[in-house]
Structures are given as C-alpha cells and as structure tokens.
Amino acid sequence: MYTTLILVQTLNGLQFGIILFLIAAGLTLVFGVMDFINLAHGVQYMIGAYFAFAFTSWTGSFGLGLLLALPAALVFGLLLEALVFRHLYDKDHLEQVLATFGIILFLNQGVKVVWGSSPLFVPVPEFLQGSIVLFEGFFYPTYRLAIIGAGLGVAALLYVLVNYTRAGMLVRAGATNAKMVSALGVDIRRLFMIVFGFGAMLAGFAGAMVAPILSVEPGMGDNLLILAFVVIVIGGIGSIRGAFLAALIIGLVDTLGRTFAGDVLRLFMDPGAASTVGRAVAPMLIYILMAAVLFFRPAGLFPVKR
Amino acid sequence: MLDTASPAAAKVAAPPPEAGATSARAPLIRREALAFALFAFFAIAPAIAQVGAEGYLLSLVIRAMIFAIAALSLDLILGYGALVSFGHAAFVGIGCYAVGILMAHSVSDLFVQLLATLLASALFALVTGAISLRTKGVYFIMITLAFGQMIYFLTTSLAAYGGDDGLTLPSRSAVFGTDVLENDLVFYYLVLACLVGVYALLRAIVGSRFGRVLRGTRENPVRMQAIGYDPYRYQLVAYVIAGMIAGLSGFLLANHIEFVSPAFISWQRSGELIIMVVLGGMGTLVGPIVGAMSFLFLEEILARITQDWKLIFGPLLVLVALFARGGILGFFRRKA
C-alpha cells in the first residue's frame, strides 16, 4: 500500500516537474539570453489554458483545441513582445519588473472580463480518460501519463533544436555572450523575438495541457511563475538542460515533501508535533533548496558553460 | 565578478546623483519642501475629511501612510544600496504576526508588541541578510524572494493562528492599559508621527557617513573595498534597519485593519512595494511616499470608475516603466 502511494506520488511529482519545465524553458532563455526579468511569463501559461478552453468548446474536440491554442499562444507572445517587451530589453531590471507586473494585472483582469472570474473546466479527451494498469494492482490516470509523455517529447525536441540547429546554436551562443553574438553580425533582435515567441508558446502549451486536470482561472499562473524562477535559478540561468533537471527535482521534492514530510519527521519526534512541523516545512522545502543553491553555487547546479 | 554581460550583474540603474556635489543641493532642498508639504497635507487631512465620508477617507490615508513607511524602508536598501529585495513584504508580515500572535495570547500592550516586532524583524533581517548579501545582483533578487516565500508558507501553516484564512484581532494595541488607539483620529496621528519619524531617521542615516559609504558601495563596491570599507557590513546594517522599519509598518497595518493574513506576505505584495518605490522615484526618500500615495489613491479612484480598474492601472505601470525614467519625481524634475 505504502509503496503504491510512493509510486503514485513520484509519478505526480514527475508530471508536475514536466509542466514546470515547459514554463521554465522559455523563462530561462529569456532571462539568460536577453537578461530580461519577465514576471509576465506566468500569464502566458494562463493564456494558453484559456485558449485551450475557448478552442476546445468551439471545436468540441480537445485535440483540435490544443492544436489551435498553440499558434494562438505563439501569436499572443509575439504580439506582447512587439508591443511592450521589445522596448524593455535595454531598461534596467526594476523597470522590467514594473512593466511586466503591470502586464500581469492587465491580463489577469482581461481574462476575467472575457471569460468571467469563476473557474472553468475542460473535459479530459475521451480516448485519454480512465486509468491504465501499470502493473498488478497499480493504476494511474491515463491523461497524466500523456502529459508526462508529451512533456518528454517536447524536451527531446528542444534538445535537438538547441543542440543541432543553427537557431539553437545562436541561442546557446546568446546565452553565453549576447553582445558578442550581436557583434558577429547576427540580428539579435530577431533572435530575441524568436526565443520569446517560442518560450511563450511552450508556456501556453503547459497551460493547455493542464487545463483538463486543473481549473482554468484568473491568476493561475502567478504561483507557477515563482516556481519557474526557482527552477531556473537552481538549474542555472540560461541552461535548458539545467531547467529540465531542476524542474524534475522541484516537482519531485515539492510533491513528495508535501506527502511524506510528516511521516519522515515522525522518525525523530512525536506524531502530533511531526505532522504540525511537516505541514509547515513541506511547502518551504523548495525555497530552502533554492536559497541553499544560491548560497553555495550561485550559478546553479547545471550552469551554462562559459 | 564584474562581468556585465552575465546576468549575475543586475542592471540596477543608479538614481540620479544627489547631495554631496554642491550643484545638486537644489533638488535636495526641493525634495525636503515636497516632503514637508506632504506631511502638512497628512496633518490637516482629517479636518478636510470631516466634510465627506470621513471614516472611509481617513482609513485610506492611514493605509497610504503605512505603505509609505514600508516603501521608505525599501528605498534605503534599494535606492541607496542597489539591493533589490523581492521579499520585503515578509518583514511587513512579521510585524503583522507579532501583533496577531501576541494578541491571541492576550498580550495587548503596545510596547511589548512593538518590542517583539522590532526584535523579530531585526533577527530575521540579520539571518537572511547575512546569507543573501553573499550573493549579488539577480541572485540577490531571487534569494530574497525565496526567504519571502518561506515566511509566506510558514504563516499559512500556522493553524493555531488562522492559517490560510488569517486572524482577526480582538482590538487595537493597548497603551498603558487604555484603549486610546481605538479612537481613529488618535491612531491616525500615531501613524503620521511614525511616518515623519521614519523619514527624519532615514534622512539622517542617508546624510551621515554611514549613508555615504552605502551610496559609495552602490556605485562601486570594489573601490569602496580598496579604500578600506567592508561593503558587506554596511549593507547588512542597512538591511537590518530596513527590515525593522518594514516590521514597524506591519505592526501599524495589523492595528489599522485589525486583521492579519498570509496574503500580506505573498510575492505580489513584495512586488507592489518595489513598484511604489520605483513609481515615486527611488533613492530620494520622498519618492516612495509619493509612490505609495499614488499607488493606493489611483487604485481607489480607478476602482470607482470601473470594477475592471486593473485594465487601466496595468498599462499605466507599463507606460511609467517605458517613459518616466526616475518615476514620478524624475518626470517632474525633467519638466522643471
């Protein structure tokens, strides 16, 4: 019984980590390549979920909805880039915080105006409903497995794109030294735009994928934004590989911590105190981890090679 | 270490140079005049407020003054020390919970609560500051965010003190066993006195030798080290002072609304404090007061026009970031 619980929570942690990776991948590139603090990255995730909801109810099929939500999220990201972010790259961090915070306020309210403030639900597509028997007596929801699969697929695709294409090479070069890349004659503005749009689309993809298992509501991206920052700091700013590994670590630590912190502490203290302390410590774990990483290895666990 | 191409070196624009060079004396005097005018406005505001819906307006101005205190404290480290703390709301929260928790144990004396607030926030600032200040730039932003989140989740887990839902206070703090603070006007002037006191204190600190070292560290820590100062110690002291003052604002906030909640400590609140400072004009001390007032008053005014006021407020912040360098104060200085 207990082993099953551990297995289920490990898979849940993995699935959470995958979602975090999809959000963090864009954020780490935007941060690493453009040195741009984009607090509005979380709303891209929210927008993706809303697009998935809108297109799913329009077409009646989640697959089609997802297919339409992706380009919509991309266009939305590019639009934001052209309207606002493009003019912020040269500003200092504080002005970026100010402007992107303003965008969070605007878009969180904007989705309320368009779709109302009550949570919306997207049905799980029929062919992914129910559970799969992984082995004797062990079930797991098919859709969550599909998220893990899709996320791993995207991670593999990103790996190929970043490591084996010309655009990927420029992104890697940009993360190491953006000024030098620009000096070598690369149109850095266009590179920024591509990175930005792609990052927005990935975050939107994450939002669309979780729409059937979470409620779609205004502000749903705000807390994930902070978690994505935790991921990219632990992984090393600008490193996709780091973001992937750190996202899995954070997903597992957070999920397993919340389930088992009390049980682990019970080995050292009496049960009542253990469950109280466990409840307090569990949500803090990833931030303690983040502070420790920043203190001992400020460049992150898997930094970009310079 | 000073590789500007790496994200490690945060891009924090130094505020315009000020006092010190004789040519810059004039703006400082104008700033003092502005501060004086603001305080005078606060002093007579209750009289004006009598005309309208007094309770509501008075409460709004009290809130503006309390957040002005918090923003002032952030300006000391952000504006004068170039230390962008993204977890400053934690100190406000510590002040709130010091009051709330003591109240829950029937300790309602103002002086005991204030002492607890200042000690707790100083201790938290000392420990987290000692760790955070080892990092630089963007990493400092992120590590202060981490500590802020820790306090946030700590308060949500305080089941005995309301947990997620927060805690309603039975009353305001007692002064020598009397409930004199229950009178809104008395409380109003207490908050105003705190604001003026904090402003005067920070103005003195900024103008002192300590303040000059802090500003020197902002401009060039390596040079400061070369001429024999240890930037770390000065920054840490400034961080602790800022933390204690933010704690004081939390103490006042809890007393004002007679309610404390983890919502006061969420990362958005820390972001709002940064925005108040940047909006008003950082590194000026008057700016944060103007910023806090503008932020809260605009929020109220826009909310009266439409319930979707954030649709207007959000783009306004974007416009300020794009076009008003140095915030509201900087905008008017250029005009002048």
B187 contacts: CB under 8 Å, gap ≥ 6: B62, B172, B181, B255, B256
Kindly tell me if the per-residue pLDDT of B323 is higher than 50: yes
Give the closest-approach CA distance of B275 to chain A in angstroms. Answer: 6
From the list A240, A213, A210, the residue with the least C-alpha distance to A224 is: A210
Q: What is the mean pLDDT of chain B?
A: 85
Domain boundaries, chain B: 53-266
Q: What is the mean pLDDT of chain A?
A: 88
What is the predicted pLDDT for the residue at B37?
85
Indicate the range of A202-211, B5-14, B299-308, B320-329 predicted with least confidence.
Answer: B5-14
Contact A99 B321 (CB under 8 A): yes
Domain boundaries, chain A: 2-218
- CB < 8 Å to A180, chain B: 5
Contact A177 B5 (CB under 8 A): yes
Residue corresponding to tokens 């994928």: A209
**Residues B117-149 pLDDT 10s:** 999 999 999 999 999 998 888 889 999 999 999
DSSP category for residue A292: H
What is the predicted pLDDT for the residue at B11?
55
Distances in whole angstroms, Cα of residue B244 to Cα of each of B84, B148, B172: 17, 15, 20
B50 contacts: CB under 8 Å, gap ≥ 6: none
Measure the CA–CA gap between B155 and B255, rounded to whole angstroms: 18
What is the predicted pLDDT for the residue at A261?
82
With beta carbons less than 8 A apart as the criterion, state whether B151 and B95 touch: no
As a whole-number percent, the residues of chain A with pLDDT over 70 amount to 99
| pLDDT-based confidence at residue B170 (cuts at 50, 70, 90) | confident
As a whole-number percent, the residues of chain B with pLDDT over 90 amount to 50
From the list B317, B277, B11, B281, the residue with the least C-alpha distance to A101 is: B317
Angle between helices A2-34 and A222-235 (to 10 degrees): 80
| pLDDT-based confidence at residue B269 (cuts at 50, 70, 90) | very high
CB neighbours of residue B305 within 10 Å: 9
Measure the CA–CA gap between B116 and B119, rounded to whole angstroms: 5
Indicate the range of A130-134, B255-259, B272-276, B278-282 predicted with least confidence.
Answer: A130-134
A267 or B199: which leads in pLDDT: B199
Contact B308 A288 (CB under 8 A): no
Distances in whole angstroms, Cα of residue B145 to Cα of each of A232, A288, B116, B244, B264: 14, 11, 24, 18, 14
Contact A233 B142 (CB under 8 A): yes
Tokens of B55: 């309770």
Strands (E), chain A: 131-135, 138-141
Question: Mean pLDDT across the stretch B162-173?
Answer: 84
Residue corresponding to tokens 């006195």: B193
Kindly tell me if the per-residue pLDDT of B251 is higher than 90: yes
C-alpha torsion angle, residues A141, A144, A146, A149 (rounded to 10): -130
A28 or B159: which leads in pLDDT: A28
Kindly tell me if the per-residue pLDDT of B17 is higher than 50: no
Kindly tell me if the per-residue pLDDT of B194 is higher than 70: yes
Kindly tell me if the per-residue pLDDT of B284 is higher than 80: yes
Distances in whole angstroms, Cα of residue A112 to Cα of each of A103, A123, A180, B155: 14, 21, 43, 29
Contact A98 B139 (CB under 8 A): no
What is the predicted pLDDT for the residue at A280?
81
**Residues B195-240 pLDDT 10s:** 999 999 999 999 999 999 999 988 888 898 888 888 899 999 999 9
What is the predicted pLDDT for the residue at B252?
95
Angle between helices A166-183 and A142-164 (to 10 degrees): 50
Which residue from B158, B271, B318 is facing A103, i.e. has the nearest CB?
A: B318
Sign, CA torsion A90/A94/A99/A103: positive
From the list B258, B230, B307, B286, the residue with the least C-alpha distance to B96 is: B258
B14 or A253: which leads in pLDDT: A253
What is the predicted pLDDT for the residue at B175?
81
Which residue from B7, B136, B313 is facing A105, i.e. has the nearest CB?
A: B313
| pLDDT-based confidence at residue B29 (cuts at 50, 70, 90) | confident
Kindly tell me if the per-residue pLDDT of B1 is higher than 60: no
What is the predicted pLDDT for the residue at B2?
37
Indicate the range of A2-6, B64-68, B146-150 predicted with least confidence.
Answer: A2-6
Kindly tell me if the per-residue pLDDT of B18 is higher than 50: no
With beta carbons less than 8 A apart as the criterion, state whether B44 and B294 touch: no
Contact B314 A107 (CB under 8 A): yes
Measure the CA–CA gap between A285 and A289, rounded to whole angstroms: 6
From the list B265, B121, B132, B155, the residue with the least C-alpha distance to A292 is: B132
In 3-state terms, what secondary structure has residue B214?
helix
Which residue from A94, A106, A238 is facing B12, i.e. has the nearest CB?
A: A94
**Residues A34-75 pLDDT 10s:** 888 899 999 999 999 999 999 999 998 888 899 999 999 999
